[in-house]
Structure 1
Protein backbone atom coordinates (compact mmCIF):
# COMPACT_ATOMS: atom_id res chain seq x y z
CA UNK A 1 0.00 0.00 0.00
CA UNK A 2 1.15 3.51 -0.84
CA UNK A 3 0.03 6.71 0.88
CA UNK A 4 -1.03 9.93 -0.83
CA UNK A 5 -1.51 13.21 1.00
CA UNK A 6 -4.33 15.36 -0.38
CA UNK A 7 -3.08 18.93 -0.65
CA UNK A 8 -6.36 20.65 -1.44
CA UNK A 9 -7.44 24.01 -0.06
CA UNK A 10 -4.09 24.98 1.42
CA UNK A 11 -2.30 28.28 1.02
CA UNK A 12 0.51 28.50 -1.48
CA UNK A 13 3.25 29.05 1.11
CA UNK A 14 1.87 26.41 3.48
CA UNK A 15 2.27 23.76 0.78
CA UNK A 16 6.05 23.88 1.22
CA UNK A 17 5.87 22.92 4.91
CA UNK A 18 3.23 20.28 4.17
CA UNK A 19 5.33 18.70 1.40
CA UNK A 20 8.45 18.59 3.57
CA UNK A 21 6.50 17.02 6.45
CA UNK A 22 4.81 14.50 4.14
CA UNK A 23 8.14 13.35 2.74
CA UNK A 24 9.68 13.05 6.20
CA UNK A 25 6.63 11.16 7.49
CA UNK A 26 6.83 8.50 4.76
CA UNK A 27 4.05 9.52 2.39
CA UNK A 28 4.65 8.40 -1.18
CA UNK A 29 2.84 11.15 -3.07
CA UNK A 30 0.99 14.42 -2.78
CA UNK A 31 -2.13 15.21 -4.81
CA UNK A 32 -3.03 18.75 -5.81
CA UNK A 33 -6.39 20.02 -7.11
CA UNK A 34 -7.18 22.19 -10.10
CA UNK A 35 -9.53 25.15 -10.18
CA UNK A 36 -8.91 27.92 -12.66
CA UNK A 37 -11.45 30.36 -11.20
CA UNK A 38 -14.71 30.59 -9.28
CA UNK A 39 -17.68 31.94 -11.24
CA UNK A 40 -19.85 34.16 -9.08
CA UNK A 41 -22.91 32.53 -10.65
CA UNK A 42 -22.83 28.80 -11.40
CA UNK A 43 -25.57 27.26 -13.54
CA UNK A 44 -24.95 23.62 -12.55
CA UNK A 45 -24.95 21.65 -9.32
CA UNK A 46 -21.72 20.37 -7.83
CA UNK A 47 -21.90 16.60 -8.46
CA UNK A 48 -20.23 15.45 -5.22
CA UNK A 49 -22.39 16.98 -2.50
CA UNK A 50 -25.95 16.05 -1.45
CA UNK A 51 -27.33 19.55 -2.03
CA UNK A 52 -25.31 20.37 -5.14
CA UNK A 53 -23.43 23.20 -3.43
CA UNK A 54 -19.68 23.60 -3.44
CA UNK A 55 -17.90 22.78 -0.17
CA UNK A 56 -15.54 25.78 -0.30
CA UNK A 57 -15.68 29.55 -0.37
CA UNK A 58 -14.81 31.54 -3.52
CA UNK A 59 -11.64 32.87 -1.88
CA UNK A 60 -10.35 29.40 -0.96
CA UNK A 61 -6.78 29.20 -2.31
CA UNK A 62 -6.27 26.83 -5.23
CA UNK A 63 -2.74 27.41 -6.58
CA UNK A 64 -2.15 26.39 -10.16
CA UNK A 65 -1.24 22.71 -9.80
CA UNK A 66 1.53 22.68 -12.40
CA UNK A 67 3.31 25.63 -10.80
CA UNK A 68 2.78 24.15 -7.34
CA UNK A 69 4.05 20.69 -8.34
CA UNK A 70 7.11 22.21 -9.97
CA UNK A 71 7.93 24.28 -6.90
CA UNK A 72 7.36 21.39 -4.48
CA UNK A 73 9.34 18.92 -6.57
CA UNK A 74 12.27 21.35 -6.46
CA UNK A 75 12.40 21.28 -2.64
CA UNK A 76 11.79 17.54 -2.13
CA UNK A 77 13.74 14.49 -3.24
CA UNK A 78 11.43 11.48 -3.12
CA UNK A 79 7.80 12.63 -3.00
CA UNK A 80 5.72 12.17 -6.17
CA UNK A 81 3.09 14.69 -7.28
CA UNK A 82 -0.08 14.39 -9.34
CA UNK A 83 -3.27 16.33 -10.00
CA UNK A 84 -6.69 15.40 -8.57
CA UNK A 85 -7.88 16.27 -11.06
CA UNK A 86 -6.72 18.53 -13.87
CA UNK A 87 -9.70 19.89 -15.82
CA UNK A 88 -8.18 18.71 -19.06
CA UNK A 89 -10.78 19.83 -21.66
CA UNK A 90 -10.29 23.47 -20.60
CA UNK A 91 -6.71 23.29 -21.85
CA UNK A 92 -4.88 22.84 -25.13
CA UNK A 93 -3.37 19.33 -25.10
CA UNK A 94 -0.08 20.25 -26.78
CA UNK A 95 0.59 23.07 -24.33
CA UNK A 96 -0.38 20.75 -21.48
CA UNK A 97 1.91 18.03 -22.80
CA UNK A 98 4.79 20.54 -22.98
CA UNK A 99 4.30 21.46 -19.32
CA UNK A 100 3.92 17.86 -18.16
CA UNK A 101 6.96 16.69 -20.10
CA UNK A 102 9.11 19.46 -18.66
CA UNK A 103 7.93 18.82 -15.09
CA UNK A 104 8.54 15.10 -15.42
CA UNK A 105 12.02 15.51 -16.85
CA UNK A 106 13.12 18.19 -14.37
CA UNK A 107 11.70 16.35 -11.34
CA UNK A 108 13.35 13.03 -12.16
CA UNK A 109 10.09 11.32 -13.15
CA UNK A 110 8.15 12.28 -10.02
CA UNK A 111 5.11 13.66 -11.86
CA UNK A 112 1.85 11.97 -12.83
CA UNK A 113 -1.31 13.45 -14.29
CA UNK A 114 -4.80 12.92 -12.92
CA UNK A 115 -7.50 14.16 -15.27
CA UNK A 116 -11.22 14.87 -15.26
CA UNK A 117 -13.77 16.69 -17.40
CA UNK A 118 -14.76 19.81 -15.40
CA UNK A 119 -18.41 20.34 -14.47
CA UNK A 120 -19.12 24.10 -14.44
CA UNK A 121 -20.62 25.41 -17.70
CA UNK A 122 -19.14 28.86 -17.08
CA UNK A 123 -15.62 27.38 -17.05
CA UNK A 124 -16.08 26.38 -20.67
CA UNK A 125 -17.81 29.61 -21.66
CA UNK A 126 -15.16 31.86 -20.13
CA UNK A 127 -12.21 29.84 -21.50
CA UNK A 128 -13.84 29.62 -24.96
CA UNK A 129 -13.92 25.85 -24.97
CA UNK A 130 -16.86 23.60 -25.75
CA UNK A 131 -18.57 21.67 -22.98
CA UNK A 132 -20.55 19.44 -25.34
CA UNK A 133 -17.41 17.77 -26.71
CA UNK A 134 -15.46 17.63 -23.44
CA UNK A 135 -15.47 13.82 -23.24
CA UNK A 136 -14.25 13.24 -26.79
CA UNK A 137 -11.65 15.98 -26.49
CA UNK A 138 -10.40 14.55 -23.20
CA UNK A 139 -9.92 11.13 -24.82
CA UNK A 140 -7.87 12.69 -27.60
CA UNK A 141 -5.90 14.86 -25.20
CA UNK A 142 -4.96 11.82 -23.10
CA UNK A 143 -3.67 10.08 -26.21
CA UNK A 144 -1.61 13.12 -27.18
CA UNK A 145 -0.06 13.56 -23.73
CA UNK A 146 0.75 9.86 -23.43
CA UNK A 147 2.42 9.87 -26.85
CA UNK A 148 4.59 12.90 -26.04
CA UNK A 149 5.39 11.66 -22.51
CA UNK A 150 5.87 8.03 -23.50
CA UNK A 151 9.19 7.69 -21.69
CA UNK A 152 11.59 7.52 -24.61
CA UNK A 153 12.82 11.09 -24.47
CA UNK A 154 11.97 13.51 -27.29
CA UNK A 155 10.29 11.70 -30.19
CA UNK A 156 8.50 12.71 -33.36
CA UNK A 157 4.76 12.59 -32.70
CA UNK A 158 1.75 13.22 -34.90
CA UNK A 159 -1.96 13.03 -34.19
CA UNK A 160 -4.99 13.11 -36.44
CA UNK A 161 -8.23 13.11 -34.49
CA UNK A 162 -11.66 14.60 -34.76
CA UNK A 163 -10.89 17.56 -32.50
CA UNK A 164 -7.09 17.83 -32.55
CA UNK A 165 -4.95 17.40 -35.64
CA UNK A 166 -1.25 18.00 -36.16
CA UNK A 167 1.61 16.67 -38.27
CA UNK A 168 4.94 15.39 -36.98
CA UNK A 169 6.44 17.49 -34.21
CA UNK A 170 8.86 17.04 -31.37
CA UNK A 171 8.63 18.35 -27.80
CA UNK A 172 11.85 18.56 -25.80
CA UNK A 173 12.69 17.95 -23.04
CA UNK A 174 10.65 14.80 -22.58
CA UNK A 175 10.95 12.22 -19.80
CA UNK A 176 12.83 8.92 -20.01
CA UNK A 177 9.96 7.13 -18.25
CA UNK A 178 6.28 7.22 -19.17
CA UNK A 179 4.20 9.78 -17.29
CA UNK A 180 1.22 7.92 -15.77
CA UNK A 181 -2.21 9.33 -16.59
CA UNK A 182 -4.94 8.59 -14.06
CA UNK A 183 -8.63 9.23 -14.66
CA UNK A 184 -10.91 10.49 -11.91
CA UNK A 185 -14.63 10.03 -11.33
CA UNK A 186 -17.34 7.52 -10.49
CA UNK A 187 -19.65 7.88 -13.48
CA UNK A 188 -19.89 5.05 -15.99
CA UNK A 189 -18.20 7.24 -18.59
CA UNK A 190 -15.32 8.05 -16.22
CA UNK A 191 -14.83 4.41 -15.28
CA UNK A 192 -14.82 3.40 -18.94
CA UNK A 193 -12.30 6.13 -19.73
CA UNK A 194 -10.04 4.97 -16.89
CA UNK A 195 -10.29 1.30 -17.92
CA UNK A 196 -9.73 2.02 -21.59
CA UNK A 197 -7.13 4.80 -21.58
CA UNK A 198 -5.77 5.30 -18.10
CA UNK A 199 -2.85 3.98 -16.10
CA UNK A 200 -5.03 4.16 -13.02
CA UNK A 201 -8.16 5.55 -11.40
CA UNK A 202 -8.70 8.26 -8.79
CA UNK A 203 -11.77 8.09 -6.60
CA UNK A 204 -13.60 11.14 -5.41
CA UNK A 205 -14.36 11.42 -1.70
CA UNK A 206 -16.67 8.41 -1.48
CA UNK A 207 -17.94 5.81 0.96
CA UNK A 208 -16.47 2.33 1.22
CA UNK A 209 -19.49 0.83 -0.54
CA UNK A 210 -19.28 3.34 -3.40
CA UNK A 211 -15.57 2.66 -3.75
CA UNK A 212 -16.12 -1.11 -3.74
CA UNK A 213 -18.71 -0.85 -6.52
CA UNK A 214 -16.45 1.35 -8.62
CA UNK A 215 -13.45 -0.96 -8.26
CA UNK A 216 -15.59 -3.95 -9.17
CA UNK A 217 -16.87 -2.19 -12.26
CA UNK A 218 -13.33 -1.21 -13.24
CA UNK A 219 -12.31 -4.87 -13.11
CA UNK A 220 -15.14 -5.77 -15.46
CA UNK A 221 -14.31 -2.96 -17.86
CA UNK A 222 -10.58 -3.63 -17.92
CA UNK A 223 -11.31 -7.24 -18.82
CA UNK A 224 -13.70 -6.03 -21.52
CA UNK A 225 -10.96 -3.84 -23.01
CA UNK A 226 -8.34 -6.59 -22.76
CA UNK A 227 -6.32 -4.74 -20.12
CA UNK A 228 -6.92 -6.90 -17.05
CA UNK A 229 -3.29 -7.99 -16.79
CA UNK A 230 -1.74 -4.53 -17.19
CA UNK A 231 -0.52 -2.55 -14.15
CA UNK A 232 -3.24 -0.23 -12.89
CA UNK A 233 -3.20 2.16 -9.92
CA UNK A 234 -6.24 2.58 -7.68
CA UNK A 235 -5.87 5.70 -5.53
CA UNK A 236 -8.88 5.99 -3.22
CA UNK A 237 -10.23 8.56 -0.78
CA UNK A 238 -12.84 6.91 1.44
CA UNK A 239 -14.89 9.04 3.81
CA UNK A 240 -16.13 6.38 6.23
CA UNK A 241 -12.87 4.45 6.82
CA UNK A 242 -10.93 5.84 9.77
CA UNK A 243 -9.10 2.88 11.32
CA UNK A 244 -6.31 0.51 10.38
CA UNK A 245 -8.64 -2.44 9.81
CA UNK A 246 -10.65 -0.36 7.37
CA UNK A 247 -7.49 0.62 5.53
CA UNK A 248 -6.55 -3.06 5.24
CA UNK A 249 -9.99 -3.83 3.80
CA UNK A 250 -9.31 -1.21 1.13
CA UNK A 251 -6.08 -2.98 0.27
CA UNK A 252 -8.01 -6.25 0.02
CA UNK A 253 -10.35 -4.53 -2.46
CA UNK A 254 -7.34 -3.81 -4.64
CA UNK A 255 -6.54 -0.23 -3.66
CA UNK A 256 -2.89 0.53 -4.34
CA UNK A 257 -2.85 3.92 -2.60
CA UNK A 258 -4.94 5.63 0.07
CA UNK A 259 -5.39 9.38 -0.31
CA UNK A 260 -5.79 11.00 3.08
CA UNK A 261 -6.67 14.38 4.57
CA UNK A 262 -5.27 13.84 8.09
CA UNK A 263 -6.53 17.12 9.54
CA UNK A 264 -10.13 16.25 8.66
CA UNK A 265 -9.91 12.77 10.16
CA UNK A 266 -8.20 14.20 13.23
CA UNK A 267 -10.53 17.17 13.74
CA UNK A 268 -7.35 19.23 14.00
CA UNK A 269 -7.38 22.91 14.73
CA UNK A 270 -7.65 24.66 11.37
CA UNK A 271 -4.22 26.25 11.51
CA UNK A 272 -1.00 25.41 9.66
CA UNK A 273 0.56 24.09 12.88
CA UNK A 274 -2.51 21.99 13.62
CA UNK A 275 -2.44 20.46 10.16
CA UNK A 276 1.24 19.56 10.50
CA UNK A 277 0.56 17.89 13.84
CA UNK A 278 -2.36 15.97 12.34
CA UNK A 279 -0.21 14.83 9.41
CA UNK A 280 2.45 13.44 11.75
CA UNK A 281 -0.12 11.72 13.98
CA UNK A 282 -1.68 10.10 10.91
CA UNK A 283 1.70 8.85 9.78
CA UNK A 284 2.41 7.35 13.21
CA UNK A 285 -1.00 5.67 13.35
CA UNK A 286 -1.22 4.39 9.78
CA UNK A 287 1.78 4.89 7.49
CA UNK A 288 4.35 3.59 9.97
CA UNK A 289 2.16 0.64 10.99
CA UNK A 290 1.85 -0.84 7.51
Structure 2
Protein backbone atom coordinates (compact mmCIF):
# COMPACT_ATOMS: atom_id res chain seq x y z
CA UNK A 1 0.00 0.00 0.00
CA UNK A 2 1.36 3.40 -0.99
CA UNK A 3 1.68 5.91 1.85
CA UNK A 4 1.94 9.67 1.53
CA UNK A 5 3.58 12.23 3.80
CA UNK A 6 2.88 15.95 4.18
CA UNK A 7 5.90 18.20 4.66
CA UNK A 8 5.26 21.32 6.72
CA UNK A 9 8.49 23.28 6.35
CA UNK A 10 8.19 27.01 7.02
CA UNK A 11 4.48 26.84 7.87
CA UNK A 12 2.92 29.55 10.09
CA UNK A 13 2.64 28.07 13.55
CA UNK A 14 -1.05 28.78 14.03
CA UNK A 15 -1.87 26.69 10.95
CA UNK A 16 -0.21 23.49 12.16
CA UNK A 17 -3.04 21.95 14.26
CA UNK A 18 -5.62 22.50 11.51
CA UNK A 19 -3.22 21.22 8.89
CA UNK A 20 -2.71 18.04 10.92
CA UNK A 21 -6.45 17.42 11.21
CA UNK A 22 -6.96 18.02 7.48
CA UNK A 23 -4.06 15.75 6.52
CA UNK A 24 -5.49 12.97 8.68
CA UNK A 25 -8.98 13.41 7.21
CA UNK A 26 -7.52 13.24 3.68
CA UNK A 27 -5.77 9.94 4.40
CA UNK A 28 -2.14 11.01 4.65
CA UNK A 29 -0.07 8.61 6.72
CA UNK A 30 2.42 11.01 8.25
CA UNK A 31 3.63 14.57 8.67
CA UNK A 32 7.31 15.43 8.27
CA UNK A 33 8.57 18.16 10.60
CA UNK A 34 11.76 20.07 9.70
CA UNK A 35 14.21 21.66 12.10
CA UNK A 36 16.05 24.97 12.20
CA UNK A 37 17.38 26.50 15.39
CA UNK A 38 17.97 30.06 14.22
CA UNK A 39 18.95 32.23 11.26
CA UNK A 40 22.49 33.51 11.63
CA UNK A 41 23.03 36.84 9.92
CA UNK A 42 26.32 35.68 8.43
CA UNK A 43 26.96 32.04 7.55
CA UNK A 44 30.53 30.80 7.51
CA UNK A 45 29.86 27.79 5.26
CA UNK A 46 27.60 27.29 2.26
CA UNK A 47 24.18 25.75 2.73
CA UNK A 48 24.68 22.31 1.15
CA UNK A 49 21.27 21.89 -0.47
CA UNK A 50 21.16 24.79 -2.95
CA UNK A 51 23.37 25.26 -6.03
CA UNK A 52 24.75 28.61 -4.85
CA UNK A 53 25.00 27.80 -1.12
CA UNK A 54 22.35 30.31 -0.07
CA UNK A 55 19.52 29.48 2.30
CA UNK A 56 15.95 29.11 1.02
CA UNK A 57 14.44 31.14 3.86
CA UNK A 58 14.77 34.54 5.50
CA UNK A 59 15.26 35.69 9.10
CA UNK A 60 11.48 36.07 9.42
CA UNK A 61 10.55 32.63 8.07
CA UNK A 62 8.55 30.74 10.73
CA UNK A 63 10.09 27.62 12.27
CA UNK A 64 8.71 25.67 15.21
CA UNK A 65 10.51 23.18 17.41
CA UNK A 66 9.56 19.89 15.69
CA UNK A 67 9.16 17.94 18.92
CA UNK A 68 6.76 20.50 20.37
CA UNK A 69 4.92 20.63 17.04
CA UNK A 70 4.52 16.84 16.98
CA UNK A 71 3.03 16.86 20.47
CA UNK A 72 0.64 19.70 19.61
CA UNK A 73 -0.47 18.12 16.34
CA UNK A 74 -0.77 14.73 17.98
CA UNK A 75 -3.19 16.19 20.51
CA UNK A 76 -5.73 17.04 17.78
CA UNK A 77 -5.37 13.81 15.75
CA UNK A 78 -5.66 10.09 16.40
CA UNK A 79 -4.05 8.11 13.57
CA UNK A 80 -1.60 10.19 11.55
CA UNK A 81 2.07 9.76 12.44
CA UNK A 82 4.84 12.34 12.81
CA UNK A 83 8.57 12.33 12.28
CA UNK A 84 11.36 14.87 12.30
CA UNK A 85 12.94 15.42 8.89
CA UNK A 86 15.49 15.90 10.25
CA UNK A 87 16.36 17.14 13.70
CA UNK A 88 19.91 18.49 13.75
CA UNK A 89 21.27 16.24 16.43
CA UNK A 90 24.85 17.44 16.69
CA UNK A 91 24.18 20.72 18.47
CA UNK A 92 21.99 19.21 21.19
CA UNK A 93 22.27 17.22 24.40
CA UNK A 94 21.28 13.54 24.07
CA UNK A 95 20.06 13.07 27.65
CA UNK A 96 17.67 16.01 27.37
CA UNK A 97 16.60 14.83 23.91
CA UNK A 98 15.82 11.37 25.26
CA UNK A 99 13.38 12.95 27.71
CA UNK A 100 11.78 15.03 24.94
CA UNK A 101 11.54 12.20 22.40
CA UNK A 102 10.13 9.81 24.99
CA UNK A 103 7.54 12.38 26.03
CA UNK A 104 6.42 12.97 22.44
CA UNK A 105 6.21 9.22 21.77
CA UNK A 106 4.04 8.75 24.85
CA UNK A 107 1.83 11.79 24.22
CA UNK A 108 1.13 10.72 20.62
CA UNK A 109 0.51 7.06 21.44
CA UNK A 110 3.66 5.87 19.68
CA UNK A 111 2.96 7.87 16.54
CA UNK A 112 6.38 9.51 16.47
CA UNK A 113 9.54 8.68 14.52
CA UNK A 114 12.86 10.37 15.18
CA UNK A 115 14.57 11.54 12.01
CA UNK A 116 18.06 12.81 12.74
CA UNK A 117 20.98 14.38 10.95
CA UNK A 118 24.22 15.97 12.03
CA UNK A 119 23.61 19.60 11.04
CA UNK A 120 25.53 21.71 8.56
CA UNK A 121 26.24 25.07 10.24
CA UNK A 122 29.20 25.53 12.61
CA UNK A 123 27.32 28.37 14.31
CA UNK A 124 24.56 26.01 15.46
CA UNK A 125 27.14 23.88 17.22
CA UNK A 126 29.30 26.64 18.67
CA UNK A 127 26.49 28.91 19.88
CA UNK A 128 24.73 25.96 21.55
CA UNK A 129 27.91 24.90 23.33
CA UNK A 130 28.67 21.80 21.25
CA UNK A 131 31.95 21.12 19.43
CA UNK A 132 31.88 21.14 15.63
CA UNK A 133 34.89 18.84 15.39
CA UNK A 134 34.30 15.08 15.45
CA UNK A 135 30.60 15.76 14.93
CA UNK A 136 30.00 12.49 13.07
CA UNK A 137 31.43 10.33 15.83
CA UNK A 138 29.64 12.44 18.41
CA UNK A 139 26.27 11.97 16.68
CA UNK A 140 26.86 8.21 16.50
CA UNK A 141 27.30 8.17 20.26
CA UNK A 142 24.29 10.45 20.76
CA UNK A 143 22.06 7.98 18.92
CA UNK A 144 23.40 5.20 21.13
CA UNK A 145 22.68 7.23 24.28
CA UNK A 146 19.15 8.20 23.25
CA UNK A 147 18.22 4.64 22.29
CA UNK A 148 19.66 3.34 25.55
CA UNK A 149 17.59 5.71 27.69
CA UNK A 150 14.42 5.26 25.64
CA UNK A 151 14.68 1.51 26.17
CA UNK A 152 13.65 2.02 29.79
CA UNK A 153 15.01 0.82 33.09
CA UNK A 154 18.11 1.92 34.94
CA UNK A 155 20.95 2.55 32.48
CA UNK A 156 24.43 4.05 32.41
CA UNK A 157 26.81 5.15 29.67
CA UNK A 158 30.54 5.82 29.63
CA UNK A 159 31.69 6.91 26.20
CA UNK A 160 34.12 9.21 24.44
CA UNK A 161 31.80 12.23 24.47
CA UNK A 162 29.12 11.47 27.06
CA UNK A 163 29.40 9.94 30.50
CA UNK A 164 26.75 9.31 33.14
CA UNK A 165 26.06 6.85 35.93
CA UNK A 166 22.84 4.91 36.40
CA UNK A 167 19.66 6.82 35.62
CA UNK A 168 16.11 6.09 34.54
CA UNK A 169 13.49 8.13 32.69
CA UNK A 170 9.87 7.15 33.16
CA UNK A 171 7.64 6.34 31.53
CA UNK A 172 9.59 4.78 28.71
CA UNK A 173 7.69 4.50 25.41
CA UNK A 174 5.72 1.25 25.21
CA UNK A 175 7.15 0.62 21.73
CA UNK A 176 10.60 1.38 20.31
CA UNK A 177 10.84 4.82 18.69
CA UNK A 178 11.99 4.33 15.07
CA UNK A 179 15.13 6.25 14.10
CA UNK A 180 15.40 7.58 10.55
CA UNK A 181 18.84 8.76 9.52
CA UNK A 182 19.16 11.73 7.18
CA UNK A 183 21.98 12.80 4.92
CA UNK A 184 23.37 12.21 1.44
CA UNK A 185 27.03 11.47 2.14
CA UNK A 186 28.51 7.99 2.17
CA UNK A 187 29.00 8.31 5.93
CA UNK A 188 25.32 9.18 6.42
CA UNK A 189 24.18 6.21 4.36
CA UNK A 190 26.47 3.90 6.32
CA UNK A 191 25.06 5.35 9.54
CA UNK A 192 21.52 4.69 8.32
CA UNK A 193 22.39 1.08 7.53
CA UNK A 194 24.19 0.58 10.82
CA UNK A 195 21.92 2.22 13.41
CA UNK A 196 18.79 3.41 11.61
CA UNK A 197 15.35 1.94 11.09
CA UNK A 198 15.22 3.78 7.79
CA UNK A 199 16.66 6.64 5.75
CA UNK A 200 15.13 10.03 5.07
CA UNK A 201 16.20 12.57 2.48
TM over 0.5: yes
Matches of 2:159 and 2:28, distance apart in 1: 39
Correspondence 1:31 to 2:32: yes
Match of 2:53 in 1: 52
Maintained 8 Å contact 2:5/2:29? yes
In 2, the alpha carbon distance for the partners of 1:200 and 1:6 equals: 17
**In the alignment, is the contact (CA less than 8 A) between 2:182 and 2:199 conserved in 1?**
yes
Question: Which residue of the partner structure matches residue 137 of structure 2?
Answer: 136
In structure 2, the residue matched to 1:62 is 63
* CA deviation after TM superposition for structure 1 residue 148, in Å: 2.0
Question: Equivalents in 1 of 2:154, 2:105: separation in Å?
Answer: 18
TM-score normalised over the length of structure 1: 0.67
Listed one character per residue, the Cα deviations across residues 39-90 of structure 1 (whole Å, up to 9, x for unaligned) are 0000100101111111111211011111111111111100111111111111
Match of 1:17, SS state, is helix
User: Which whole-Å CA distance do the structure 2 matches of 1:91 and 1:124 have between them?
Assistant: 8
Count of aligned positions: 200
Q: 1:265-286 CA distances to partner (integer Å, 9 max, x unpaired)?
A: xxxxxxxxxxxxxxxxxxxxxx
Aligned residue in 2 for 1:283: none
Task: Give the whole-Å Cα distance in 2 for the aligned partners of 1:108 and 1:128.
Answer: 33
TM-score by length of 2: 0.97
Correspondence 1:169 to 2:170: no
When Rg is computed on C-alpha atoms for both structures, the one with the higher figure is 1
Show the counterpart of 2:147.
146
Q: 1:149 offset after TM fit, Å?
A: 2.1
In 2, distance between residues paired with 1:62 and 1:133?
Answer: 27
Moved over 4 A (4+): none
Unaligned runs of 5+ in 1: 204-290
* Equivalent residue runs for 1:74-89 within 5 Å: 74-89=75-90
> What does 1:13-28 align with in structure 2 at a 5 Å threshold?
13-28=14-29
Query: Who is 1:121 aligned against?
Result: 122
Distance 2:126 2:110 in 1: 34
**Root-mean-square deviation over aligned CA pairs:** 0.9
TM superposition shift of 1:144: 1.3
Which residue number corresponds to residue 100 of structure 1?
101
